[in-house]
Amino acid sequence: MRKSQLQKYAKLLAKVGLNVKKGQTVFIGAGLEQPEFVAMVVEECYKAGASEVYVEWSYQPVEKLNALYRSLESLSELKAWVKAKWEFKAKNYSCRLFIESDDPDGMNGVNQEKMSAARRALFPQIKPFRLALENKHQWCIAAVPGKAWAKKVFPELSEKKAVEEMWKVILKTSRADGKSPVRAWKEHNAELDARCGYLNGLGLQYLEYKSANGTNLTVELNADGIFCGGKEKTLKGRVFNPNIPTEEVFTTPKAGAAEGIVYSTKPLSYMGELIENFSLRFEGGKVVEVKAEKGEELLKQMVSMDEGAGKLGECALIPFESPINQSGVLFYNTLFDENASCHFALGHGFNECLKGYEKYTDEECKKRGVNDSMIHVDFMIGSRDMEIVGITKTGERVQIFKNGTWAF
């Protein structure tokens, strides 16, 4: 991959993803797969005005060894030095960038019951720090090729060629393969803004989903809910793009208000393992039955992580002909696959999907219908024949999606 194009991608992450401003502190989380590219991003952040840039490196094989050999008690303890790091970040975070590259199968063989128990134990210890950060800093998730990930996606190619091909599809689907990725994202954000504006003017109360694969689900929306997409703003008005790539227009539905069944249309990579060909049945707004050809036990663990894990936290609308779907590539990575077609998310909802959310406390947002959970897991449901009808507060039925794409 040409260095000049990678530099444009690095600039995109710093200037559009994070939108780093003068004097801000940047934290970058990355694996060991592409250190040269991470160095490019660090430099672009400094060029954008960052005062400090910290990089936290991770290595999935070591994470797996910790999961295999450490006790549940050890994994469940928030060590003093880890707590100090969270406290430091809560005080000093301005921008944080997550660069994904992990192997989708990299945690196979780990005791997932132990890991789920450890996550449940750690979550209440970490939650106060996360709440201190929510909507107060710029953040972005992006990706670079990992060798094992690239071979998973392109098994017929050599490792070197698979990584090269992975770079091509990451840059193309991230709108970072042209002369001016920054300009391309300005245009893309404008289009998503227009979609949100139309939907927010309809006064929708319900969304009905139907597909020939058996999906038949009705979701109730929050009374003062809004659709968002593309760029977001911090409470201080700093604009950023949390996901590169993104194709979605999304909202947070009313917690505990969904009825019917939904079928997945792509595999879900969760906790380093794959869950495939699964369905979820909702009654009273909560998952009451799960089925999966692969990973069913892991799926059951996921929806029972806490009281809100089996409820919906997000409804995302994405046309079936999105650039990611058109690529014909199955990424085995939620950042990309969730943007191939419509998806839902189980678990935590978004306060910013409530009109005037900045006036409310986190607890008040939950009372207004935003789901609360320690997880937020996106799974893909979009299909070529997906039909979505919106029902307004006055009972009018409005076609939102027809044959898998926008009806307006």
Query: Is residue 192 situated within a structural domain?
Result: no
Can you tell me which residue has the tokens 């950042």? 335
Give the tens place of pLDDT for each residue, 313-329. Answer: 999 999 999 999 999 99
Q: Based on the fold, state whether residues 243 and 160 are members of the same structural domain.
A: no
Q: Is the pLDDT of residue 89 over 90?
A: no
Read off the pLDDT of each residue in 163-176 and give the average, rounded to a whole number. Answer: 98
Q: Amino acid letter at 257?
A: A
Query: Is residue 196 situated within a structural domain?
Result: no
Pull the structure tokens for residue 11. 């600039």
Separation between Cα atoms, residue 292 and residue 229, nearest integer Å:
30
Separation between Cα atoms, residue 362 and residue 371, nearest integer Å:
11
Q: Based on the fold, state whether residues 348 and 394 are members of the same structural domain.
A: yes
Query: Is residue 231 situated within a structural domain?
Result: yes
Give the tens place of pLDDT for each residue, 298-307. Answer: 999 999 999 9
Give the tens place of pLDDT for each residue, 135-152. Answer: 889 999 999 999 999 999
Give the tens place of pLDDT for each residue, 182-229. Answer: 999 999 999 999 999 999 999 999 999 999 999 999 999 999 999 999
Q: How many Cα atoms sit within 13 Å of 133 on the Cβ side? A: 19
Considering only CA atoms, which of 392, 4, 6, 11 is closest in space to residue 206? 392
Q: Based on the fold, state whether residues 228 and 146 are members of the same structural domain.
A: no
Going by DSSP bridges, is the β-strand pair 273-283/253-263 parallel, antiparallel, or unpaired? antiparallel
Give the tens place of pLDDT for each residue, 28-47. Answer: 999 999 999 999 999 999 99
pLDDT for 269 equals 87
pLDDT for 92 equals 85
* Domain stop point among 148, 179, 210: 179
Binning pLDDT at 50, 70 and 90, where does residue 91 land? confident
Q: Based on the fold, state whether residues 171 and 229 are members of the same structural domain.
A: no
Cα distances (Å, whole numbers) of residue 157 to 87, 151, 153, 274: 45, 7, 9, 22
Q: Based on the fold, state whether residues 77 and 37 are members of the same structural domain.
A: yes
Per the structure, the complete domain to which residue 347 belongs is given by 202-406
Pull the structure tokens for residue 375. 């997880």
Read off the pLDDT of each residue in 115-124 and give the average, rounded to a whole number. Answer: 93
Asked whether 26 and 96 are in contact (CB, 8 A), the reply is yes
pLDDT for 132 equals 84
Residues 6+ apart with CB under 8 A from 209: 215, 216, 217, 218, 219, 260, 262, 342, 381, 386, 387, 388
Query: Is residue 188 situated within a structural domain?
Result: no
Provide the domain count of the chain.
2
Q: Based on the fold, state whether residues 171 and 209 are members of the same structural domain.
A: no
Beta strands in 184-294 (DSSP E): 204-210, 216-221, 228-229, 232-233, 239-240, 249-251, 253-263, 268-270, 273-283, 286-294
Question: What count of other Cβ atoms lies within 10 Å of the Cβ of residue 1?
Answer: 17
Going by DSSP bridges, is the β-strand pair 253-263/216-221 parallel, antiparallel, or unpaired? antiparallel
Asked whether 181 and 9 are in contact (CB, 8 A), the reply is yes
Q: Based on the fold, state whether residues 21 and 85 are members of the same structural domain.
A: yes
Asked whether 16 and 41 are in contact (CB, 8 A), the reply is no
Q: Based on the fold, state whether residues 299 and 383 are members of the same structural domain.
A: yes
Q: Based on the fold, state whether residues 247 and 115 are members of the same structural domain.
A: no
Q: CATH no. for residue 16?
A: 3.40.1830.10
Q: Based on the fold, state whether residues 168 and 277 are members of the same structural domain.
A: no
Read off the pLDDT of each residue in 5-13 and give the average, rounded to a whole number. Answer: 98
Residue 268 three-state SS: strand
Q: Based on the fold, state whether residues 157 and 92 are members of the same structural domain.
A: yes
Query: Is residue 190 situated within a structural domain?
Result: no
Our CA angle for 377, 383, 385, nearest 5°, is 145
Q: Is the pLDDT of residue 133 over 90?
A: no
Q: What percent of the chain has pLDDT over 90?
A: 93
pTM attached to this predicted model: 0.88
Query: Is residue 253 situated within a structural domain?
Result: yes
Give the tens place of pLDDT for each residue, 255-284. Answer: 999 999 999 999 998 988 889 999 999 999
pLDDT for 85 equals 92
Q: Based on the fold, state whether residues 165 and 236 are members of the same structural domain.
A: no
Query: Is residue 113 situated within a structural domain?
Result: yes
Query: Is residue 373 situated within a structural domain?
Result: yes
Give the tens place of pLDDT for each residue, 224-244. Answer: 999 999 999 998 999 999 999
